Structure 1
């Protein structure tokens, strides 16, 4: 399968800058999904089904929760957690399984590095694509929340950039981890990490229900920080926890991007 079109090839010959190189790689991913759009959409439905079954179904049996001193309905509590989980799932899917296939079997990055592109371009391009995918899921989910009356503040407009930050954090770190994998069985470690976070990162119930020692562990996990950020934005009950979450996720994304570039240098250039 050709990696880039002839026009893209001519652009590469002129040593593209970071923005142009990222655009070329995003375009390549778009073309590869053009005939697999149904697969692309599947990542949106899982959190939606959780919202409908647990947030709405079980929520009818729950009186509500208190968030930063304000009483909110259970569906309003669960929906932002599903929004954050949607961003995580979209980013993780592309930065793990798809990234592994490209680097180990398709040998796509070896072909790209035969051009003037660098490993930094590859890292940025793949991360940007995973962000676009996660961002589309999150934006669509936010529209569903709005139609269902689960958005209580204009601060919710900032929830989409927040989900992109969540996706950047998970996508960068997961790409770095994937470079160490040599078998599909190793992805069980990703599931072992993401599934408990999905279930226990205050997505379905408040973190205050945990014992103090377990609560502190949960509060330093990345999905919890993302859930806190999305929940405070969609409900308008803002606190300093949102600022902490932004700094945490930004640092995680920056560190992950540096690590994946160095790992690609090791794997593909030495």
Structure 2
């Protein structure tokens, strides 16, 4: 933390650039987590266990599904969905629970605003850390997929950048919604939203398995867009759905980030 203080102190006479401010906040979070690295394993292992229990275990009973005109084994169908879920979990954990603690309890953001940092810097820095955490989860999970032979295309290398887009969307929206929360009890709504989104994201079954009305709702969820994007990349069967997913996730992420900044202005500067 001393290095952060020195760096900020040297910049007291001038505004910090966006990249410099983001780097300082990333370093601050690194220092806070470096002795608790094992926490990262929890978000990574959960989707791995799902993959082994459902993708591999149930996959012995299911022959597979057709995806974009190609028949793929069930485990290969499920794995990209769990990859997208890894990115979501990593981003949401930091963007909700940890963000709420910093905002409401240890008043970290109030202290940061006493330096040349702005609310926009805080929003970008916290979102960048959420992206980093989600990216680590996703990269580790992709290694597991490759080791198990569940990535059949070189396009799978782009699954990590795709996971970062998923993290951008969920991290920004998660922080925005967290600014409206009043107590820890409100986080029950986070679980209430994430669990159905996970179960109805076409991770375990194709979209055609749902009734038409339900399918329309599923297609509008950000996790489904992430699942489609990762599945097309890992199987090498790209379509316009990937482009739609990229635009959708970027737009939601930008909207969420703008809302976070406005809410932090209202909560911390007034």
TM-score, structure 1 length as denominator?
0.98
State the alpha-carbon separation in 2 of the partners of residues 39 and 11 from structure 1: 33
Following TM superposition, by how much is the alpha carbon of 1:12 offset from its aligned partner in structure 2, in angstroms?
3.6
* Residue range with higher mean Cα deviation, 40-49 or 161-170: 40-49
- Give the alignment of 1:41-56 within 5 angstroms: 41-56=41-56
- Give the alignment of 1:33-48 within 5 angstroms: 33-48=33-48
* Mapped pair 1:77 → 2:77: yes
DSSP-derived class of the 2:106 partner: coil
Unaligned runs of 5+ in 1: none
Cα distance 1:132–1:11, how it changes in 2: closer, same or farther (>3 A)? Answer: farther
2:91 aligned partner: 91
User: Runs of 4 or more off by more than 6 Å in structure 1?
Assistant: none
Following TM superposition, by how much is the alpha carbon of 1:6 offset from its aligned partner in structure 2, in angstroms?
3.4
* Mapped pair 1:32 → 2:32: yes
Aligned partners of 1:228 and 1:245 also within 8 Å: yes
CA deviations 1:63-113 (Å, max 9, x no partner) are 110001100000000000000000000000000000000000010000000
* Mapped pair 1:262 → 2:262: yes
DSSP-derived class of the 1:45 partner: helix
Following TM superposition, by how much is the alpha carbon of 1:207 offset from its aligned partner in structure 2, in angstroms?
1.2
2:210 aligned partner: 210
State the alpha-carbon separation in 2 of the partners of residues 12 and 43 from structure 1: 36
State the alpha-carbon separation in 2 of the partners of residues 142 and 68 from structure 1: 21
Cα distance 1:121–1:4, how it changes in 2: closer, same or farther (>3 A)? Answer: farther
Aligned partners of 2:43 and 2:137 also within 8 Å: yes
Following TM superposition, by how much is the alpha carbon of 1:3 offset from its aligned partner in structure 2, in angstroms?
8.3
CA deviations 1:146-181 (Å, max 9, x no partner) are 000000111111110000000000000110000000
State the alpha-carbon separation in 2 of the partners of residues 191 and 4 from structure 1: 37
Unaligned runs of 5+ in 2: none
State the alpha-carbon separation in 2 of the partners of residues 156 and 11 from structure 1: 43
TM-score, structure 2 length as denominator?
0.98
State the alpha-carbon separation in 2 of the partners of residues 198 and 215 from structure 1: 14
1:196 aligned partner: 196
1:6 aligned partner: 5
Aligned residues: CA RMSD: 1.1
State the alpha-carbon separation in 2 of the partners of residues 12 and 104 from structure 1: 27
DSSP-derived class of the 1:92 partner: helix
Aligned partners of 2:4 and 2:24 also within 8 Å: no
